Amino acid sequence: MATLSSRAVTLARVPDGTPSAEDFAVTTLDVPTMAAGQVTLAVDVLSLDPYIRSTLGGRHLGDAPVGPGDVVPGRSLATVTASADDSVPVGTLVLAETGWREIAVLPAAAVTPVPRRAGVPASAALGALGMPGLTAYAAHVRHLKPRVGDTVVISSATGGVGAVAGQLATVAGARAVAIVGTEDKAAIAVDQLGYAAAVIRGRDGWVEELRKACPDGIDAYLHMGDQATLDVVMEQLAVGARVSLCGLMDQYNGGAPTTVRAGAVMTARAEVQGMVVYDHHDLVAEQAARLGALIADGRVLLLEDRYVGLDQAPEAFARLMSGRNQGKVVVQVSPA
């Protein structure tokens, strides 16, 4: 019997700073023979997420480091094409840690069937109904806790986490303010995601623009930006503010350790918490029910930055890690 092979993306070299497409290689690898209790998967849609950057040559919260020649890790939406376990029959749509590849063989116990929801695209399982959405939802209900009339600021406001978090704040009756990197993203934030205002970080006068957008101070802040953004926001906190430290984009790419202005925290009597999504898996069912309903009735928009073809994954990831994405980044691996 001929050996089955498929394309995969491996790490060509450990990135120095922000990753580039040249740090990766598209290659062809043999597919392992399926054994008892395993399933063969055809990857449909691959999710690209910022946490992957910290695994490249390093370690992410206990995950094994990825070195040159290793397949890049990643979660995907996939279809079971062969099964040696009756609990996961052929044709089942699943979530799985396949890595960046076209075909994967995994234990059936390691895949999660994806339920079909009316009015909800299947790829939502990688975004609003997946790990990015859980991050946003957990930060919303456990850290930010917005009340009607609060001002909630979201950095990286049009990304996979930020887009969901901003919309949740608006649904809760808060006034959501976006911090973004470009004019295009500012327009997306306001026109598509429903933010009340958007401020472009780093632009001349942006600190005062943020102050004008938040005249009564910032009641809640979800941080996924750089040190400069964190410093500016911390100096504009309202008394009793809640801050969720969710992502450190500059550190992912080798920047200096992030610091928090203790004086600003004390002045605002603020509550600052660190967000690690793995601590909040008890919210998965609640997240799926709540966000699924909001997507189905049109109150939460799925914003995707979609690329077609596995060979586009390196460039898509480079764009993500340099802040050039517009929404949750996914790669359509198999034909739609």
Q: Residue 52 has what DSSP assignment?
A: G
**Which residues are CB-contacts of 210 (< 8 A; sequence separation ≥ 6)?**
153, 177, 179, 199, 232, 233, 236
Q: What angle do helix axes 284-296 and 131-138 make, rounded to 10 degrees? A: 100
* Residue-level pLDDT at 336: 66
- Check if the beta carbon of residue 155 is closer than 8 Å to that of residue 225: yes
DSSP H or E segment with residue 308: strand 304-308
pLDDT at residue 183, rounded to an integer:
96
pTM of the shown model: 0.91
Which residues pair with residue 39 across a beta bridge?
83, 106
Q: How large is the C-alpha radius of gyration of the chain?
A: 20
From the CB of residue 212, how many other CB atoms can be counted at a distance below 10 Å?
A: 11
* Count of other CB atoms within 10 angstroms of residue 184: 12
CATH architecture of 131-279: 3-Layer(aba) Sandwich (3.40)
Q: What does the pLDDT look like over 7-47, one tens digit per residue? A: 999 999 999 989 999 999 999 999 999 999 999 999 999 99
pLDDT in tens, the chain (336 residues): 557 899 999 999 999 989 999 999 999 999 999 999 999 999 999 999 988 998 997 765 667 789 999 999 999 999 999 999 999 999 999 999 999 999 999 999 999 999 988 899 999 999 999 999 999 999 999 999 999 999 999 999 999 999 999 999 999 999 999 999 999 999 999 999 999 999 999 999 999 999 999 999 999 999 999 999 999 999 999 999 999 999 887 777 777 889 999 999 999 999 999 999 999 999 999 999 999 999 999 999 999 999 999 999 999 999 999 989 989 999 999 986
Domain 5-124+303-332: assigned CATH number:
3.90.180.10
Inter-residue contact 75 to 44 (CB < 8 Å): no
Count, in order, helices (H) and strands (E) of the chain: 9, 15
Residue 135's φ and ψ, nearest 5 degrees, are: -60, -50
Q: Where in the chain is the domain with CATH 3.40.50.720?
A: 131-279
- Say what the pLDDT of residue 54 is: 86
Domain with CATH 3.90.180.10 in the chain: 5-124+303-332
Written as one letter, the residue type at 317 is F
Quote the distance between the C-alpha of residue 147 and its chain's center. Answer: 25
